[in-house]
């Protein structure tokens, strides 16, 4: 066992995240740079042009954050529950990291910023570009631009927020945001990491976790999908875990 920079133990015989080739690292770095520049540009455009803030534009800020949180939960739940890590593209880029993350959560802290955020940054670019097309001419269109900017900001940072929630000691300002419930806290996310990993799927602000759990949103959705398709939830994840632990027993 070797401690990493956050003091989390690395267990050498558990699965780890794939090493990122140089070409992919360059792609991730470029995606992050473009996405964050676009986001800054969007924010600057709003600050520069909006002189009076309507209540609709103000509500759009938490509204965008809420949608980003809900989508983070929906995507996380989909990756945990359905599909196979052997699927092309999605299997390697989305499902495999979640499989590894459940068995070896400490390894997530080893991932660097561009590795953690590159895929999301790439997907955010079209959304950010589209947001520039929203005119800032009426209260409604300003609110729409604010909503998309707020959604994009939190969406873009989702994996980073998830990584911060795993740190024993996140940076000071981040701990403040966690403490005041603005982003996902360590304690809230910890609830997800108990097998069979069916609680608190939302990993951005964490605001949707409690209401979604209260109405059993994901378990009901699973039951509906199984009823419609006959597919069994978490089939691939169970196989992944069995393969890892049977390998450990035989080695």
Residues that bind Zn ion in the complex, under the rule CB under 5 A: 80, 197
CB of 141 to Zn ion, least distance (A): 37
Nearest residue to Zn ion on Cβ basis: 80
Q: How far is the CB of 148 from Zn ion (least distance, A)?
A: 27
Which residue's CB is nearer to Zn ion, number 64 or number 97? Answer: 97
**Best CA proximity match to 31, nearest among 123, 137, 140:** 123
Shorter beta-carbon distance to Zn ion: residue 72 or 149? 72
CB closer to Zn ion, 76 vs 131: 76
CB-based contact 207:69 (threshold 8 Å): yes
* Rounded (5°) CA angle 67-70-72: 110
Least separation, in Å, of the C-beta of 124 and Zn ion?
21
Residue 163 CB, nearest distance to Zn ion (Å)? 8
Reduce the secondary structure of the chain to three states and give it as a string.
CEECCCCCEECCCCCCCCCCCHHHHHHHHHHHHHHHHHHHHHHHHHHHHCCCCCHHHHHHHHHHHHHHHHHHHHHHHHHHHCCCCCCCCHHHHHHHHHHHHHHCHHHHHHCCHHHHHHHHHHHHHHHHHHHCCCCCCCHHHHHHHHHHHHHHHHHHCHHHHHHHHHCCCCCHHHHHHHHCCCCCCHHHHHHHHCCCCCCCCCCCCCCCHHHHHHCCHHHHHHHHHHHHHCCCCCHHHHHHHHHHHHHHHHC
| CB closer to Zn ion, 82 vs 197 | 197
Pick 30 or 191: Cβ nearer Zn ion: 191
Provide, rounded to whole angstroms, the least separation between the CB of residue 93 and Zn ion.
Answer: 16
Nearer to Zn ion, 38 or 115 (CB): 115
Nearest Cα neighbor of 113 from 226, 27, 28 is 28
| Rounded least distance, CB 108 to Zn ion, Å | 6
Which of 147/197 has CB closer to Zn ion? 197
Q: How far is the CB of 201 from Zn ion (least distance, A)?
A: 7
């Amino acid at each position: 066992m070797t401690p990493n920079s956050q003091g989390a133990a690395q267990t050498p015989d558990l699965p780890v995240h794939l090493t990122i080739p140089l070409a992919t690292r360059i792609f991730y770095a470029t995606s992050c740079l473009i996405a964050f520049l676009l986001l800054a540009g969007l924010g600057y455009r709003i600050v520069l042009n909006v002189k009076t803030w309507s209540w609709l534009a103000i509500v759009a800020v938490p509204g965008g954050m809420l949608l980003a949180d809900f989508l983070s939960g929906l995507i996380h739940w989909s990756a945990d529950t359905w599909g196979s890590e052997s699927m092309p593209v999605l299997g390697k880029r989305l499902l495999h990291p979640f499989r590894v993350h459940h068995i070896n959560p400490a390894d997530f802290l080893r991932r660097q910023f561009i590795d953690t955020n590159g895929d999301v940054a790439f997907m955010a670019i079209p959304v950010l570009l589209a947001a520039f097309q929203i005119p800032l001419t009426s209260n409604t269109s300003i609110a729409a631009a604010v909503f998309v900017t707020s959604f994009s900001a939190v969406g873009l940072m989702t994996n980073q927020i998830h990584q911060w929630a795993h740190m024993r000691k996140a940076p000071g300002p981040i701990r403040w945001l966690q403490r005041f419930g603005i982003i996902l806290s360590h304690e809230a996310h910890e609830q997800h990491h108990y097998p069979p990993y069916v609680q608190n799927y939302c990993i951005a602000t964490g605001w949707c976790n409690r209401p979604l759990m209260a109405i059993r949103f994901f378990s009901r959705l699973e039951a509906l999908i199984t009823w419609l398709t006959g597919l069994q939830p978490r089939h691939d994840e169970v196989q992944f875990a069995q393969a890892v632990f049977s390998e450990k027993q035989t080695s």
